[in-house]
Structure formats: structure tokens, C-alpha cells
Structure 1
Amino acid sequence: MQLQVQASIMGVKKFNGNIDGKLFDYCRIIAATPMDESQGNALGMASTEYDFGGSANFERFKGLQFPFDAVLTVEMVVSGKGQKFKAIDFKSLKQGEKG
């Protein structure tokens, strides 16, 4: 299932390398996400990391000014540990900037 989420993109990071014989290649988007204020015990924003494919996706962010507002296309994935969202695509909401 894919969803579109408006978010403030705070940063992005990548890694492509080998740790203890295991290859890692990823890009992660760090977005500000509103906290659930409905119970009265949380206010403000928290940072959420979205997996965004391989490290090559990092290049799509070069030249963008952080933070910026964007629409993320995300997909819910489930593993034995639970569920999470991974980013499929993003589009900057700032006129003239492409993601």
C-alpha cells in the first residue's frame, strides 16, 4: 500500500560499505513528524527515518536547501519485528526544486 505524506525533510544520509563482511548500501531520509498530541502527554515534532533505497539516491538531494517541505510517497512494509514505512519517491514543494 502506497501513501503520500507531506513532511519537512531535515536531512539525508547514505552509506555504502562493508561491515564485518556484510555489504550495506542505503540512503535514509530524516523527516520531522508531528507527535501524537491527542493523549496530552506529547507536544511538537520527532525525527523519523525513512529508508530510501540505495546510496545513489543521495545524489537527488544535492543542491537542495535543508530543511524543505516535500511530499513523500511511502510504502508500508512488514517484517517479523513489526511494520515501518519506506520512501519510494519525494517531490519538493518549493517551486523550482525537484526531488
Structure 2
Amino acid sequence: MKFNTQIKVLGMKSNKGMMDNGQTYDSTKVYVETALDDSKGNAKGFAVAEYTLGLSDEFAKYKHLPFPFMADATVEIVTTGKAQKTQLVELKPIELAKKAA
């Protein structure tokens, strides 16, 4: 299931390399402001959720932007049949979208 939403991107980090066992890794992490669950009355405010967005070269598309920034995001909820997770599929900074229009 895919849907679009606005998010506040607080930071991003590219990461590429090889572990000691020879396994390679290559990703961009996106840190998004996320509301805390206040349904039990013991939390209030915001925290940061981490999402993966493509490979490490994805970071180059956004590193010139002032952080934090607002973005239109395409998000997808996927499941293995037992566990569900949310994936960040696409990110479009709002200010860039306004300038292009």
C-alpha cells in the first residue's frame, strides 16, 4: 500500500563500505520528525524515525538543501506476512517543487 504524506526531514546520512566479513553496504538514511504516541498519556512531543532511501548516492540530491526541510514523501507499507514495516520510496522537497512550478 503506497500513500503520499508531508514530512519534516531533520537530517540525512549516506553510508557505503564493506564490513570485516566482506559484505558490502550502501544506503542513505533519512531522519524524520515523528510524533510520539501519546495515547497512554505518558509521552508527548516528537522523536526521530529513521528510514532508508535508496543507495548512498541519493544523498547528493539533497545535501545542498538547508536542514530541516519539508518534503512530499511517497511511503509504502509492506509485510512479510508476519511483520509490517514502512518504507520511504520517494522524497520531493517542497521548496524545490514550488520553484520548479
Of Structure 1 and Structure 2, the greater helix share is in 2
Structure 1 pair 81–65 and aligned structure 2 pair: CA distance change class (3 A):
farther
Alignment of 1:87 onto 2:88: yes
What is the aligned partner in structure 2 of residue 4 from structure 1? 4
Q: Which of these residues, 66, 75, 99, is aligned with residue 96 of structure 1? A: 99
Question: Which SS does the other structure have where 1:71 is aligned?
Answer: strand
Runs of 5+ in structure 2 lacking a partner?
none
Shifted more, 59-68 versus 74-83: the winner is: 74-83
The root-mean-square deviation of aligned C-alpha atoms, in Å, is: 1.9
Distance between the aligned counterparts of 1:80 and 1:14, measured in 2?
Answer: 30
Distance between the aligned counterparts of 2:5 and 2:30, measured in 1?
Answer: 13
1:30-87 deviation per Cα after TM superposition (whole angstroms, max 9, x unaligned): 0001112222111000100111011111111121110011121111233487322121
Question: Which SS does the other structure have where 1:96 is aligned?
Answer: helix
TM-score computed with the length of structure 2 as normaliser: 0.84
Of Structure 1 and Structure 2, the greater strand share is in 1
Instruction: Choose 1 or 2 for highest CA Rg.
Output: 2
Structure 1 segments of 4+ aligned residues over 3 angstroms from their partners? none
TM-score computed with the length of structure 1 as normaliser: 0.86
What is the aligned partner in structure 1 of residue 72 from structure 2? 71
CA-CA distance at 1:23 after TM superposition: 0.6
Provide the identity percentage: 37
What is the aligned partner in structure 2 of residue 40 from structure 1? 41
Structure 1 pair 11–37 and aligned structure 2 pair: CA distance change class (3 A):
same
Work out the number of aligned pairs and report it. 97
